[in-house]
Amino acid sequence: MSEDFYDVLGVSRDADEDEIKDAYREKATEYHPDVSDDPNAEEKFKKVKKAKEVLTDDEKRQAYDQMGHDRFEQAEKRGGFDGGRGGGAGGMGGQGPFGGMGGQGGMGDIFEQFFGGGGRGRQSNRPQKGQDLRTRLTIDLEDAYEGVQKQVSVRRPERCDDCDGEGHPPGTDSHTCQECNGRGQVTQVQQTPLGRVQQTQTCRQCGGEGEIYAETCSTCGGDGTVRREATLSVEVPAGIQSGQSLQMEGEGAPGPNGGPNGDLLIEVEIEDHPDFERDGDDLRRQEPISFPQATFGDTVEIPTLDGTVEMDIPAGTQSGETFRLQGKGMPRLRRRGQGDLYVQVQVVTPSDLNDEQKEALEQFAEAGGEEISVEEGFFEKIKNSF
Q: Is 200 in the site for Zn ion (CB under 5 A)?
A: no
Report the amino acid identity of residue 126: R
Query: How many CA within 13 A on the CB side of residue 38?
Result: 15
State the helix-helix crossing angle for 17-31 and 41-55, rounded to 10 degrees.
Answer: 170
Part in contact with Zn ion (CB under 5 A); list of ranges 101-109, 191-199, 211-219, 251-259:
211-219
Q: Is 219 in the site for Zn ion (CB under 5 A)?
A: yes
DSSP string of 53-89, one letter each residue: HHHTSHHHHHHHHHH-HHHHHHHHHTTTTTTTSSSTT
Q: Is 180 in the site for Zn ion (CB under 5 A)?
A: yes
Q: Is 139 in the site for Zn ion (CB under 5 A)?
A: no
Part in contact with Zn ion (CB under 5 A); list of ranges 56-64, 105-113, 173-181, 315-323:
173-181
Q: Is 203 in the site for Zn ion (CB under 5 A)?
A: yes
Q: Is 168 in the site for Zn ion (CB under 5 A)?
A: no
Q: Is 48 in the site for Zn ion (CB under 5 A)?
A: no
Q: Is 217 in the site for Zn ion (CB under 5 A)?
A: yes
Q: Which residues of 12-31 are buried (b: 16+ CB within 10 A; e: fewer)?
A: eeebeeeebbebbeebbeeb
Q: Is 160 in the site for Zn ion (CB under 5 A)?
A: yes
Bridge partners for 324 per DSSP: 342
| CB-nearer residue toward Zn ion: 214 or 348 | 214
Among 11, 206, 266, 333, binds Zn ion (CB under 5 A): 206
Helices (H) and strands (E) in the chain, counts: 10, 15
Question: Which of 265, 264, 278, 267 has its CA nearest to residue 243?
Answer: 267
Part in contact with Zn ion (CB under 5 A); list of ranges 92-100, 156-164, 228-236, 371-379:
156-164
Among 20, 48, 55, 163, binds Zn ion (CB under 5 A): 163
Please check whether residue 236 is in contact with residue 147, taking contact to mean a CB–CB distance below 8 angstroms. Answer: yes
Q: Site residues (CB under 5 A) for Zn ion?
A: 160, 162-163, 177, 179-180, 203, 205-206, 217, 219-220
